[in-house]
């Protein structure tokens, strides 16, 4: 499905803002599946770099394991490369980027240069206690790549992964110690972007608590999407 508005194709460029565990990745995957826009997750791109064993991946790994931010130089390099690929012309959801003011300003410059400004910044609001449970319970199916949660997903969904020969894999940084640090880093460095984007009149706030489908419905209505 394409995003249609008054018989013309509308391309949306969106940032998902929210603490680790607020559902950015899950919801971005839903938008990607239903509409022609790509999900760009700097976390996923960095994890791929770490797995590939590249020099850049090695540099990023220590910060990621500690729950700290990877340097702006590395992250901006990755984002600039990714934004040059043709598929972003379909619109995109940035998931996990920007994470501080310098990254937000750099993003604005890059997008202004290519004449593709952001349409909206969507903040997913989730209570701290729920974030902890979402993060400690989070798993990815090794076969389908589907994001699951041992506390919240249906047993049938969890079984579907294992029945397909997959394993429920926990991210290396989803342990309690690292999670605490990631949430602190969010508060100190990323949360100021809420005011920044409010000032640019791009911010839309959505209640990120409840079932995935419910939250997805709220996101679509906040973005004026139907279907
Ligand atoms: P995520 O998958 O978005 O939770 O990211 C996992 C980890 O990757 C973070 O804890 C950071 O170490 C690193 N990371 C991801 N995105 C960024 C970013 N925009 N800036 C700096 N570090 C990032």
Walking along the chain (227 residues) 10 residues at a time, the average pLDDT comes out as 52 96 94 91 96 95 96 97 93 97 97 93 95 94 93 94 96 91 96 98 97 96 89
Query: Full-prediction pTM beyond 0.85?
Result: yes
Rounded Cα distance, 175 and 67, in Å: 10
The secondary structure of 174-223 as a DSSP string is -SHHHHHHHHHHIIIIITHHHHHHHHTT-EEEEE--S-HHHHHHHHHHHH
Q: Is 74 in the pocket of ligand 1 (CB under 6 A)?
A: no
Q: Is 66 in the pocket of ligand 1 (CB under 6 A)?
A: no
Q: In this predicted structure, what is the pLDDT of residue 114?
A: 87
Residue 135 belongs to what H/E stretch? helix 128-137
Residue 50 · residue 60 · CB < 8 Å:
yes
Q: Is 67 in the pocket of ligand 1 (CB under 6 A)?
A: yes
User: How much distance in Å is there from the Cα of 51 to the middle of ligand 1?
Assistant: 15
Q: In this predicted structure, what is the pLDDT of residue 226?
A: 80
- The percent helix, strand, coil of the chain (3-state, each to 5) is 50, 15, 30
Write out the two tokens for 4.
């249609």
Using CA atoms of 182, 82, 5, 115 in order, give the dihedral in degrees to the nearest 10: 110
Instruction: Tell me the catalytic residues.
Output: 24, 99, 138, 171, 182
List the beta strands (DSSP E) in 30-154: 38-41, 92-95, 120-125, 138-141, 147-149
> What number does the ligand 1 atom closest to the CA of 47 have?
8
Q: In this predicted structure, what is the pLDDT of residue 7?
A: 42
Rounded Cα distance, 71 and 29, in Å: 26
Helix/strand/coil for 6: coil
Q: In this predicted structure, what is the pLDDT of residue 9?
A: 56
Half-sphere exposure of 94 (CA within 13 A, CB side): 27
């Amino acid at each position: 499905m394409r995003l249609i508005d008054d018989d013309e194709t509308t391309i949306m460029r969106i940032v998902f803002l929210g603490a680790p565990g607020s559902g950015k990745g899950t919801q971005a995957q839903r938008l990607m599946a239903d509409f022609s826009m790509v999900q760009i997750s700097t976390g996923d791109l960095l994890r791929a770099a770490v797995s590939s064993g590249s020099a850049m991946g090695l540099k990023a790994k220590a910060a990621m394991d500690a729950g700290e931010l990877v340097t702006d130089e590395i992250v901006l390099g990755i984002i600039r490369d990714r934004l040059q690929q043709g598929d972003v012309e379909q619109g995109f959801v940035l998931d996990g980027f920007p994470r501080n003011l310098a990254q937000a300003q750099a993003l604005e410059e890059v997008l202004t240069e290519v004449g593709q400004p952001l349409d909206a910044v969507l903040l997913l609001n989730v209570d701290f206690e729920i974030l902890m449970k979402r993060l400690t319970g989070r798993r990815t199916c090794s076969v389908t790549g589907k994001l699951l949660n041992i506390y919240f997903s249906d047993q049938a969904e969890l079984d579907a992964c294992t029945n397909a020969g997959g394993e429920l894999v926990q991210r290396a940084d989803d342990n309690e110690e690292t999670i605490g640090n990631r949430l602190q880093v969010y508060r100190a460095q990323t949360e100021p972007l809420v005011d920044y984007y409010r000032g640019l009149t791009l911010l839309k706030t959505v209640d990120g608590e409840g079932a995935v489908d419910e939250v997805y419905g709220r996101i679509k209505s906040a973005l004026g999407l139907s279907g």
